[in-house]
Amino acid sequence: MTEDVSPRIASELRDIVDAIESDASDETFASLPLPESMRAATVHKDEIGMFEGIPSEEKDPRKSVHIDEVPLPELGPNEALVAVMASAINFNTVWTSIFEPLPTFNFLERRGRASALAARHDLPYHIMGSDAAAVVLRVGPGVTKWKPGDRVVVHCNDVTLEGPEGHDDSMMDTGEGIWGFETNFGGLADVALVKANQLMPKPRHLTWEEAASMPLVSCTAYRMLVGANGARMKQGDVVLIWGATGGLGGFAVQYVRNGGGIPVGVVSSEKRVGLAKALGCERVVNRRDLPSVWDDAGTKQDTKAWVALGKAVRELTDGEDPDIVYEHPGRQTFGASVFVAKRGGTIVTCASTSGFMHEYDNRYLWMNLKRIIGSHFANYKEAWEANRLACKGMVHPIMSRSFPLEEVDEAAWQVHRNMAEGKIGIRVLAAEAGRGVTDAAMRERHYDAITLFQREA
Ligand code: NAP
């Protein structure tokens, strides 16, 4: 993938990085000249057909992701330009890079039609990335809460809030879109364009890449389990967590434990069984020990496999069924999830990694008064609360490794093929891993928990 980018970019951005690392004054940040162009991880509109006829799992981000030199985006009202020290791979970066379930250029074109300002997003390239730990460089007209020099993390909920729909819960905004997926100018670039109401304080005890690896999955898990809009877990609830050492699952384990629930993890290897236990999930099922749910053709489910999962869970819970099933694998697991949930229980879902056409036996849902809740990212308040817990050391990053921006394609490939545990961080302007900590004493107190996945995954 790696195209050479001009050394001029590095030298222009060097002053910005030096100012960040020397903790320069706010005035210095405000007066720093911005480069005209920057490095960015992109996919190209003229390549959206490149994987036609190839099975999903073989579509390779290493063929579609580019590191380009592109102009800095224009700053608009209520927005900020931020210097991205680190970002992270999310599964939406995988979807973008394999053009599934549809090319993200469709989102950018639709957004571009909304207004003259929004037209900035409709470009022949898409800068990906929905997480960032960054430093504010410039704020647009109307921004009062943030200023150049502020160290921040970015949550990915981009809203307009022009209509009434989003004013109880901004996820209901008709203009809502996920930054870096449904918008351009995401976090996998030297400089990102965000709405100012995406910014939150960076946890001071974390490195840039650790901080960047948290917001998208942590805030999503918070809404699904803790916030008022999800399954509203209570003390003692048994929560079945698919992918308990993955991005979403690793935060679900932490929220369930914090809230006095009983996490039961599902993972796919003995190594991950050990990792889930180290994270505090004492009850773990290795799904490789269970019969396969679907036949080889992927057309019919074996309901005996649902029963086997339910039995495995009961063996770990003194016979109790899950009050909540935390769903995201989708087609492969959804039938089993509906089956194993307790009478009156909740299946909360935010994704369909293995396929979005789900099949389940509705008798188990209605006769047993279960409910399914759809959930998607988090509103600003939920995101802020999740980040507050991170700042207080009450949830910790689950980053297992980090790559430089130039290797973002390899990182996306590893996430696509379920090769990585926890999260993969991407170092953008951070020259090396381990930078960005401004509260060493707090880091020391939580060191084992912060570095768990870096040591054991
Ligand atoms: P991840 O870090 O790759 O973790 C997913 C985990 O799911 C893996 O660790 C894997 O664990 C498990 N898994 C994968 N395929 C499975 C299958 N067929 N059956 C059972 N388990 C399977 O990904 P993530 O960041 O957690 O994201 C998961 C999904 O949620 C993605 O589709 C993503 O796009 C979506 N998502 C949605 C939102 C939202 O706001 N709507 C937010 C975040 C993520 P084992 O192999 O160990 O079982």
What residues are in contact with ligand 1 under a 6 Å CB criterion? Answer: 90-92, 216-217, 220, 242-243, 245-249, 266-268, 272, 287, 328-329, 332-333, 350-351, 353-354, 376-377, 415, 418
Predicted pLDDT of residue 300: 94
The mean pLDDT value for 439-456 works out to 98
Predicted pLDDT of residue 10: 66
Query: Confidence class of residue 5 from pLDDT cuts 50, 70 and 90?
Result: low
Going from the Cα of 423 to the center of ligand 1, the distance in angstroms, rounded, reads: 11
More confident residue, 219 or 17: 219
- CA dist 190 and 5 (Å) reads 12
Identify the burial level of 309 via C-beta atoms within 10 angstroms of its C-beta, where 0-12 means exposed, 13-18 middle and 19 or more buried: buried
Predicted pLDDT of residue 26: 84
Query: What is the dihedral angle through the alpha carbons of 138, 13, 156, 243, rounded to the nearest 10 degrees?
Result: -160
Bridge-based pairing of strands 324-327 and 238-242 is parallel
Q: Is the pLDDT of residue 244 over 50?
A: yes
Q: Is the pLDDT of residue 9 over 90?
A: no
Domains and CATH numbers, the chain: 6-215+379-456 (3.90.180.10), 231-374 (3.40.50.720)
Mean pLDDT of the chain: 96
pTM for the full predicted model: 0.97
Residue with tokens 């802020």: 384
Predicted pLDDT of residue 191: 97
Predicted pLDDT of residue 29: 84
Q: Which residue's CA lies nearest to atom 11 of ligand 1?
A: 243
Q: Which tens digit of pLDDT belongs to each residue from 334-377?
A: 999 999 999 999 999 999 999 999 999 999 999 999 999 999 99
Atom of ligand 1 nearest to the CA of 272: 47
Q: Which of 181, 353, 415, 419 for mutating ligand 1's site (highest number of atoms within 8 Å of CB)? A: 353
Predicted pLDDT of residue 13: 85
> Which residues are CB-contacts of 297 (< 8 A; sequence separation ≥ 6)?
none
Q: How many CB atoms lie within 10 A of CB 450?
A: 23
Q: Is the pLDDT of residue 45 over 60?
A: yes
Q: Is the pLDDT of residue 277 over 90?
A: yes
Predicted pLDDT of residue 431: 85
Atom of ligand 1 nearest to the CA of 287: 48
Predicted pLDDT of residue 11: 72
Going from the Cα of 353 to the center of ligand 1, the distance in angstroms, rounded, reads: 6
Predicted pLDDT of residue 2: 44
Predicted pLDDT of residue 1: 46
DSSP 333: T
DSSP 176: -
Query: Confidence class of residue 215 from pLDDT cuts 50, 70 and 90?
Result: very high
Going from the Cα of 243 to the center of ligand 1, the distance in angstroms, rounded, reads: 6
- What share of the chain in percent tops pLDDT 90? 91
Q: Which of 87, 89, 91 for mutating ligand 1's site (highest number of atoms within 8 Å of CB)? A: 91
Going from the Cα of 418 to the center of ligand 1, the distance in angstroms, rounded, reads: 9
Going from the Cα of 240 to the center of ligand 1, the distance in angstroms, rounded, reads: 14
CA-wise closest residue to 214 among 249, 251, 164: 251
Predicted pLDDT of residue 14: 86
Atom of ligand 1 nearest to the CA of 377: 40
By the 8 A CB rule, do 86 and 402 touch? Answer: yes
Q: Is the pLDDT of residue 4 over 60?
A: no
DSSP 294: B
DSSP 33: P
Q: Which tens digit of pLDDT belongs to each residue from 397-407?
A: 999 999 999 99
Q: Is the pLDDT of residue 50 over 60?
A: yes
Q: Which tens digit of pLDDT belongs to each residue from 87-110?
A: 999 999 999 999 999 999 999 999
Atom of ligand 1 nearest to the CA of 352: 32
Q: Which residue's CA lies nearest to atom 46 of ligand 1?
A: 268
The mean pLDDT value for 209-221 works out to 98
Q: Which of 150-159, 294-303, 311-320 has the lowest mean pLDDT?
A: 294-303
